[in-house]
A and B are shown apart, each in its own frame.
Chain A
């Protein structure tokens, strides 16, 4: 794929998956020094590092990883709006993790089995993501079925992020995936975990008024611009420098 110049569809897909991993890794990195328990500092950093590793492989398929991460404008990023959502409290972070890692796990399992250009990466990522999903599930159970406060926080978090979940199943060019089937498996899995956590599946639309597939088209939410400003500032301040 890289020898003769990457095919356009593959680049689109690599950017979509790579940006998801890059942006979520960045958000998780923001937890450093702020986690609710010292053990969670270690766990969240592990997940962030796995995602950053995935992002680097994927972005390198599409071009130079640093140029892509640091020199693109907001509109050129292809990540889901879900992953750019601010950390909020720990419940929001966990809800974002469960929604996304369940999706990512199913997606990578299918890509790994499909034998396409992303199969080697997906085969490795699926093992990492299995752990991320498990982490989110364990915490969902404990917070959902913990105290009244934690239950309410967890419920609110799942409801707040619900509207960003529809976008995950918009077909991505270059990925040979049965999207409707992926969506129903995702819904089944999330429903099952929420049920065990004494939570119910949120109601309401799974896409915002103008957000269906928007992140994948380069339309992002307000907090994303600020995130990029912080992430890119130093790199952009020293054009051409090596680090």
Chain B
């Protein structure tokens, strides 16, 4: 076992770009991306690459944290203890995933406080899907099946993203999220096969969440602002429309097994394309929600800010305590390390 002192000097992310001449940096970076190697935090990277990653990872982290709210809305009303435990574990995972992602963003030199500040002041976005309300219990199922399903479709390719810390966070998140989608599907199945009232509740939820879920893949490829460069950098691996199509193709048979209808009369199998055709998406709604006019934009951000502000005294107290007791804490740390070694 390595000693504490040795570990203190080991810097795991010093991947030795220092030996190279500045002129070579871009070439080395490009070659690494081209060879499907991962870029690590201490590597040289173009400023725009760094900025794109910070923006994307932060938005992703914010989405996890804000995304807790619509589902937490039902924890205290979950209709069975089994469902209650599942929902609490799921909302907890979302907090955890937010933390993994903020950590990944921090490796790029932007602190979590700064990112939270940008979220709270509206300078950074989160996924618009969370600006829709959860009106019934079935919405918990629809979020799991459709919203998490869309998220997973988006996220699986991110496990191979060129930036190492982001890719590793995504591996962990995808692994944990596989239960999220299944619990949603199972929940809807129970409702669909339940009483007529429960079935109607499930259908209503799917009717409301289907189109917003399709919007989660972002604007069509020809209107997507950031897509081309992100693909070149291998931050993104597939286009918005490609992923959206993949999601639709997956969902149609799943909806049939559920005994629920997807609210799109144009949804038909296209033999020639080998895909399902689907109706036009109302992008005006997407842009409107993005601009802040969704049903819950104000409510979500207000709650987030309130929790942060009301927690300030707790965080301050803990910092003050740590400042008073630093010596003691460090001594304790060395002691427990020693105990394990023995």
| CB-contacts of B144-189 with A (<8 A) | 187
In the bound complex, residues from chain A placing their C-beta under 8 Å from that of B68 are 32-33, 41
B314 touches A37 (CB 8 A): yes
Residue of A nearest to B85 (CB): A52
Q: Does A135 contact B (CB under 8 A)?
A: no
Q: Residues 81-94 of chain B: 1 if any A CB is under 8 Å from the residue's CB, otherwise 0?
A: 11111001101100
Bound form: Cα–Cα A31–B81 in Å: 18
Q: Name the prevailing secondary structure of the B interface residues.
A: helix
Q: Does A45 contact B (CB under 8 A)?
A: yes
Residue of A nearest to B318 (CB): A142
In the bound complex, residues from chain A placing their C-beta under 8 Å from that of B190 are 242-243
Q: Residues 17-30 of chain A: 1 if any B CB is under 8 Å from the residue's CB, otherwise 0?
A: 00000100010011
Residue of B nearest to A151 (CB): B317
Per the CB 8 Å criterion, the residue count for chain B at the interface is 49
Would you give the shortest CB distance from A194 to chain B, in whole angstroms?
A: 15
A147 interface neighbour in B92, B198, B306, B320, Cβ under 8 Å: B320
Per the CB 8 Å criterion, the residue count for chain A at the interface is 49
Q: Does B95 contact A (CB under 8 A)?
A: yes
B307 interface neighbour in A33, A70, A141, A238, Cβ under 8 Å: A33
Bound form: Cα–Cα A34–B95 in Å: 11
In the bound complex, residues from chain B placing their C-beta under 8 Å from that of A41 are 68, 92, 95
A45 interface neighbour in B78, B82, B91, B98, Cβ under 8 Å: B91
| CB-contacts of B59-107 with A (<8 A) | 65, 68-69, 72, 75-85, 88-89, 91-92, 95-96, 98-99, 102
Bound form: Cα–Cα A240–B96 in Å: 36
A42 interface neighbour in B72, B92, B198, B316, Cβ under 8 Å: B92
Residue of A nearest to B68 (CB): A33
B311 touches A66 (CB 8 A): no
In the bound complex, residues from chain A placing their C-beta under 8 Å from that of B79 are 70, 234-235, 238, 241, 243
| CB-contacts of A25-79 with B (<8 A) | 26, 29-30, 32-42, 45-46, 48-49, 52-53, 55-56, 59, 65-66, 69-70
Bound form: Cα–Cα A29–B315 in Å: 21
Bound form: Cα–Cα A18–B321 in Å: 36
Q: Name the prevailing secondary structure of the A interface residues.
A: helix
Task: Knowing A38-B95, A231-B77 are in contact, say whether A45-B320 is a contact too (CB < 8 A).
Answer: no
In the bound complex, residues from chain A placing their C-beta under 8 Å from that of B198 are 238, 241
Q: Does A153 contact B (CB under 8 A)?
A: yes
A231 touches B195 (CB 8 A): no
A32 interface neighbour in B72, B98, B316, Cβ under 8 Å: B72
B72 touches A89 (CB 8 A): no
B76 touches A30 (CB 8 A): yes
Residue of B nearest to A235 (CB): B79
B95 touches A45 (CB 8 A): yes
9 more A-B residue pairs beyond the given contacts A30-B75, A34-B303, with a C-beta to C-beta distance below 8 A:
A39-B99, A45-B88, A48-B88, A145-B324, A146-B318, A150-B320, A230-B77, A243-B190, A243-B191
A-B contact pairs, 14 of them (CB 8 A): A29-B75, A33-B91, A34-B306, A35-B307, A38-B65, A41-B92, A42-B95, A45-B88, A49-B85, A146-B318, A150-B314, A242-B190, A243-B80, A243-B187
